[in-house]
Amino acid sequence: MTLLRIGPVDDWVRTIAHHLRADPILLGTDRDDIDRTLDAHSDRPLVLSADIAGLSAILQRLVRRDQVTEVPVGWVADTDKASRELSSRLGLPPRPTLAADVATADEVRNVRLVRDDHGGLLLHRGRLSGWAGAAMFGAQTYHDDELVADGTVRRIDVRPDYDVDCGVVAEVAAGLLRRTTRSTGRSVQTSCGEALSTVDGVLHPRPVRKWTWYADPRQYWLLRVPSG
């Protein structure tokens, strides 16, 4: 078993390592370092202690290596709010020792990948909002064939729908009346004025004028989950 750690080593991580009787291998999100580590430990079960950004970095490399549907990942989430929310949505236990036990279990769930047209993954939550702090921006957004935004909006939030096999949920906050509409489907496509894209807490460095999130029917990743 290989315990990978992306992030600082704190009491949470030490508890996991002690429970698993494993010394964590410390990694950043550099693709070459991740590739070398995956190559060196390809014959062992993979346990990852990380936040969402760290999990995304590992999955991105597995996608690029064409191994994402072959290598099960046992994820022990960090204690930040977003990581705990995603962990709960995926059905993982909150206690570190129980999460570590699940991360080494044999039960595996296929989790559909949600991707974007800029080459990234969406695991928890994506948002389009006004660039440079603007309260509003113009957008035309389709959720599959349904027009869900056509005019000025405050934000567009998208998240994977883990309750279905291949879907995403979109919430559009439009206009000054703070009206929010919710829709479901497979793909959310937006053309817009200058907007800020935030994907799992990471800000895109440049303004965007179009963005698509879609649940990829061809790809999934393997998550170790509680048995039964």
Q: Specify the 3-state DSSP secondary structure of 33.
A: helix
Q: Report helix, strand or coil for 226.
A: coil
Judge contact between 171 and 180, C-beta under 8 A. Answer: yes
CA distances from 67 to 1, 39, 70, 160 (A): 18, 11, 5, 21
pTM above 0.95, yes or no: no
Look at residues 79, 166, 81 and name the one whose alpha carbon lies nearest to residue 125: 81
Q: Where are the domains of the chain?
A: 2-105, 126-216
What's the pLDDT tens digit per position in 36-92?
Answer: 999 999 888 899 999 999 999 999 999 999 999 999 999 999 999 999 999 999 999
Class of domain 2-105: alpha beta
What's the pLDDT score for residue 65?
95
Closest CA to 160 of 185, 196, 191: 185
Cα 175 to Cα 139, 153, 170, 207, 208, distances in angstroms: 11, 6, 16, 21, 20
Region class of 200: left (phi > 0), else alpha (psi between -120 and 50), else beta: left
Q: In sequence order, which residues have a C-beta less than 8 Å from that of residue 66 and are 6 or more positions away?
A: none
* Half-sphere exposure of residue 69: CA atoms within 13 angstroms, side-chain side: 8
- Which residues in the chain come in under a pLDDT of 50? none
